[in-house]
Chain A
């Protein structure tokens, strides 16, 4: 097991370096000159010759004229020490720019995942057990509808009813602007702002996972060993949970871990519509602003998350399914 994890980590390091080379070359090939961007404001104040001189000095200071390999190793060395350079847009270190949206995205998504799983798993199991009942059929109809409606429509509907029509919840933003009150009141205000996006996030993820759990459960319930378990005289609860559900868990776990990994990438559409400072929004906004240091850092982070996610999926197979031996 340890040997396997070690092997996988080596493999992850290899993939990560290949990806970093590719990304580095890609972002270096993009038009734009960071040196010129930095001294641009001084263009009017200086003589052309002086400006030219300053430009050359800045380029040399930034090391832009070195060969690609030298630049890459220098960049990699800094990156490993978590120094991603400066954000052009905010004129602050990238790491400080990325931190708050990352924290926010993780926080809201952990809630979304917990609420989502608490609804979808029991619902999926129940509809599979009561297959073709009226309840099951109506759930099927709702999940198909939920599946087919795009996120932004769902978001708009919820905004219209909860924020505009009934005025129960704030429309968007992270907190009320110029909020005056105690720290506890501010906290409550922030939480009120989170409720609506959280609902939309959960609702949009309900449909697919419910259907997935139902399908996996139905397959497990149709197996002969379920009849064996019933013939043994087990209670129906034991048949459903310890026999069927344990076997249905394997395909479901792949999906769930993939879903949990998406916690970190954020949801651009929802974040934009609710004007939330999350990872998805930061990523797209930085792309538009050509703030490539931020983009590169976020992208490397995504690569890392994807690699860790894959490792977790494989390891969890070994835990859930005795037939999978991960040490080979």
Chain B
């Protein structure tokens, strides 16, 4: 993995959302701790899958990396600026105006294709606006039109769609518009925030294949956020598992799915339905609900639901350590010393 170039280096990233004070006499403000101490490297050309339950901070992580949310603390460094000879650019320190230059390189695809497109703009306007903002438009309007049409074609949109409004399209087509919009800027990095979870299963595969094609043609790097383990397995090179704002396990996809080290990952994987009747496997259901991110459990955040939990889990927060090559886990009792009864 040393030959791979790092594109983003994220260190100790925290994002808290302060809650409103319930009354003026309340002394401390409570925070929703959406992300805590995230350490992550994103390599150029990979697809990093992020998986976890609803509310575990996946989307927040994506948006905080893009600086759409200002991080509470921690650093996000970007290595993809050729003008800066690929030296790290500290995105977290830039002002909104300075960031605008880098927005072109890092784009976002939204989960909801219905609300993420401005209903008052035609497809052509939606696609051109970003180009205009980054002075990517040619003086010759014909060339611009050609470029837009070529992007639309790559994303599977017919040329005559250009003058239509978003409400005239189906969910899958709208998602294609959203993808075309981000690809038109020729970015290096795209955060795909659950891009397929609002779509029918038949359309999901089309969109995923489109994303893979675009990645191959444009040399993109993806951060693919999803709660769907099978989608993540199909598209990702590496997978990070999140629980309550923390990355609990991070590994190459095959490795993670074959040898999960964290009890939470194990429970998630065992919940994937299977059609294999010969090898019956135990389903390890998780007891209880996900604890509140306002007042998370001490120590290991998973200890309230973990059947292997001991005293140490309640007190000491486990570090993310590399237990196997390129396989990181944050657990006091990783599953290495147990037999892999699961698969």
Is B120 a contact partner of A322 (Cβ separation < 8 A)?
A: yes
Interface footprint category on A: 20 to 34
Please count the residue pairs between chain A and chain B whose beta carbons lie under 8 angstroms apart in the complex: 70
Q: Bound complex: CA of A228 vs CA of B119, how far in Å?
A: 12
A residues near B133, Cβ cutoff 8 Å? 232-235, 238
Is A228 a contact partner of B103 (Cβ separation < 8 A)?
A: no
Is B68 a contact partner of A247 (Cβ separation < 8 A)?
A: no
Shortest Cβ gap from B334 to chain A (Å): 37
B residues near A247, Cβ cutoff 8 Å? 118-120
Is A321 a contact partner of B120 (Cβ separation < 8 A)?
A: yes
Is B115 a contact partner of A231 (Cβ separation < 8 A)?
A: no
Shortest Cβ gap from B293 to chain A (Å): 21
A residues near B118, Cβ cutoff 8 Å? 225, 228-229, 243, 246-247
Is A231 a contact partner of B119 (Cβ separation < 8 A)?
A: no
Is A228 a contact partner of B178 (Cβ separation < 8 A)?
A: yes
Contact of B120 among A228, A230, A246 (CB under 8 A): A246
Is A236 a contact partner of B110 (Cβ separation < 8 A)?
A: no
Contact of A227 among B68, B96, B119, B181 (CB under 8 A): B68
B residues near A323, Cβ cutoff 8 Å? 119, 165, 167
A residues near B120, Cβ cutoff 8 Å? 246-247, 321-322
Is A225 a contact partner of B115 (Cβ separation < 8 A)?
A: yes
Is B129 a contact partner of A234 (Cβ separation < 8 A)?
A: yes
Q: Which residues, 142 to 195 on B, are CB-close (under 8 Å) to A? A: 165, 167, 178, 181-182, 185
Shortest Cβ gap from B55 to chain A (Å): 18
Is A232 a contact partner of B119 (Cβ separation < 8 A)?
A: no
Shortest Cβ gap from A129 to chain B (Å): 13
Q: Which residues, 89 to 138 on B, are CB-close (under 8 Å) to A? A: 96, 99-101, 103-104, 107-108, 110, 112, 115-120, 122, 129-130, 133-134
Is B96 a contact partner of A322 (Cβ separation < 8 A)?
A: no
A residues near B130, Cβ cutoff 8 Å? 232-234
A residues near B134, Cβ cutoff 8 Å? 233
B residues near A224, Cβ cutoff 8 Å? 110, 112, 115-116
Is A228 a contact partner of B68 (Cβ separation < 8 A)?
A: no
B residues near A321, Cβ cutoff 8 Å? 119-120
Knowing A228-B110, A228-B178, say if A233 contacts B116 (CB, 8 Å): no
Is A232 a contact partner of B185 (Cβ separation < 8 A)?
A: yes
B residues near A322, Cβ cutoff 8 Å? 119-120, 122, 165
Is A233 a contact partner of B100 (Cβ separation < 8 A)?
A: yes
**B66 beta carbon closer than 8 Å to chain A:** yes
Interface of B toward A, CB cutoff 8 Å:
63, 66, 68, 96, 99-101, 103-104, 107-108, 110, 112, 115-120, 122, 129-130, 133-134, 165, 167, 178, 181-182, 185
Interface of A toward B, CB cutoff 8 Å:
223-225, 227-236, 238, 243, 246-247, 321-323
3 A-B pairs closest in CB distance: A233-B103, A224-B116, A232-B130
> Given A227-B68, A323-B167, list of 14 further CB < 8 A pairs?
A224-B116, A225-B118, A227-B63, A227-B116, A228-B116, A228-B117, A230-B68, A231-B66, A232-B185, A233-B100, A234-B130, A322-B119, A322-B122, A322-B165
